[in-house]
Amino acid sequence: MFSRLSPEAAASAILNQFQNNAKVAVLGASGGIGQPLSLLLKNSPLVSRLSLYDIAHTPGVAADLSHIETRAHVKGFLGPEQLPECLKGCNVVVIPAGVPRKPGMTRDDLFNTNASIVASLTSACAKHCPEAMICIISNPVNSTIPITSEIFKKHGVYNPNRIFGVTTLDIIRANTFVAELKGLDPARVSVPVIGGHAGKTIIPLISQCTPKVDFPQDQLEKLTGRIQEAGTEVVKAKAGAGSATLSMAYAGARFVFSLVDAMNGKEGVIECSFVRSEETESPYFSTPLLLGKNGIEKNLGIGKISPFEEKMIAEAMSELKASIKKGEEFAKNFK
């Protein structure tokens, strides 16, 4: 005996089936971020197909993940000749590919290697999945996002609402550190972090934290410095064995899930991300974004901030603009 669905329930069932069909590609899936990120994506009911690409080890990573009892179908792709097939039909592409920082290195020191990697991978995206949401994790994000934009422009498929620099780890760190200092549950703390994704361009808006928190100025400055240099804290602790990979994978997955939720029609999904922007004199800037079916639905801007935060924005501008220009120049000369 079949149970009968009302037309509304039937429509909802069809919608749910459609909604949980995100086709996600991870480019750089065998690396320190790529493997745990792929594991978190495989674990999600939102993902129906997971395409894993790298220049080594992807068949093994894919075989391993494919045994997990969740519905996402996993397939590994190896080397540039298999990249077009990997990208075909993808809705979301996440790019953690590249080399990590070692002690004493800044994110900008990664530029020469990672700029070329990001340019060639995003060039393939522009050709084979021009409509996909592109989420860049590869550092220096302050330069790799301008590179991605310029590559998409070259191919005539640029849409600024679909290209995201994943800065979510800065937000996660801010939430965690504030919660530790105030004895709060970090899952209930929300600190917007704006600007860029390196050193002093990382600007936590503690004044906009929910729940509201107050710190004496010296403690606020120390906390802000820790959020800005948290990546270096991990690089030092790993003592040459890499940079933040596990927390970055978590942050990347959080951003992808928010994006997919919004693409599925969930309302009120807000994440900060480094994107093309007219909020400041910098052509790219991270602020809270309302996400929707087509990527950025609305840039929510900076909002009301403290004089201390205003000063940080002013002080970040020259570095931010220089990193952006460096990325744009590189992309213009990239063959």
Per the annotation, binding residues for substrate are: 101, 107, 139, 173
Sheet strands (E) in 113-228: 133-136, 163-165, 193-195, 202-204
Distances (CA, A) of 241 to 8, 26, 94: 54, 22, 23
What backbone phi and psi angles, to 5 degrees, belong to 71? -75, -20
Closest to 30 (Cα-Cα) out of 84, 77, 82? 77
Burial class (CB in 10 A: 0-12, 13-18, 19+), 129: buried
Query: Which stretch of DSSP H or E encloses residue 313?
Result: helix 307-333
- What distances in angstroms separate CA 319 from CA 14, 36, 204, 243, 316, one per listed residue? 49, 31, 17, 22, 6
Please give the backbone phi and psi of residue 24, each rounded to the nearest 5 degrees, phi first.
-115, 135
- Catalytically active residues are 197
Which residue ranges are tagged as binding site for NAD(+)? 28-34, 54, 114, 137-139, 248
Which residue positions form the known binding site?
A: 28-34, 54, 101, 107, 114, 137-139, 173, 248
Here the tokens at position 303 are 């909002």
How far is the C-alpha of 23 from the C-alpha of 36, rounded, in Å?
Answer: 18
For 32-50, give one letter per residue: b (16+ CB within 10 A) or e.
Answer: bbbbbbbebbbebebbbbb
How many CB atoms are located within 10 Å of the residue 216 CB?
8
